[in-house]
């Protein structure tokens, strides 16, 4: 399975701020993520909003030869 993720910093919408318990326009990291099967078909997708002040996002990417 392969993952494609697109992190993007931006300001929270009013709805996101309410759901996350943060101020409107606070910084969030928006992540669009899709998992693909071995034959390239998308099998799962998600839109994730993470308050920038509450956590750090780290991706570990293995590099093989």
d(C-alpha 48, C-alpha 32), whole Å: 6
Q: What is the pLDDT of residue 28?
A: 95
* Number of separate helices (H) and strands (E) present in the chain: 1, 3
User: What global pTM score does this model have?
Assistant: 0.71
Domain 2-51 part of CATH 3.40.1410.10: yes
Looking at the predicted structure, is the pLDDT value of residue 14 above 90?
Answer: yes
pLDDT-derived band at 63, boundaries 50, 70, 90: confident
Spell 4-32 as b/e; 16+ CB within 10 A means b. Answer: eeeeeeeebeeebbeeeebeeebebbbbe
Mean model confidence pLDDT for the chain: 89
């Amino acid at each position: 399975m392969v993952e494609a993720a697109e992190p993007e910093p931006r300001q929270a919408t009013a709805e996101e701020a309410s759901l996350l318990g943060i101020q409107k326009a606070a910084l969030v990291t928006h992540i669009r993520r899709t998992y693909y099967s071995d034959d390239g078909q998308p099998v799962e997708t998600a839109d994730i909003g993470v308050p920038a002040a509450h956590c750090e996002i780290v991706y570990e990417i293995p590099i093989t030869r």
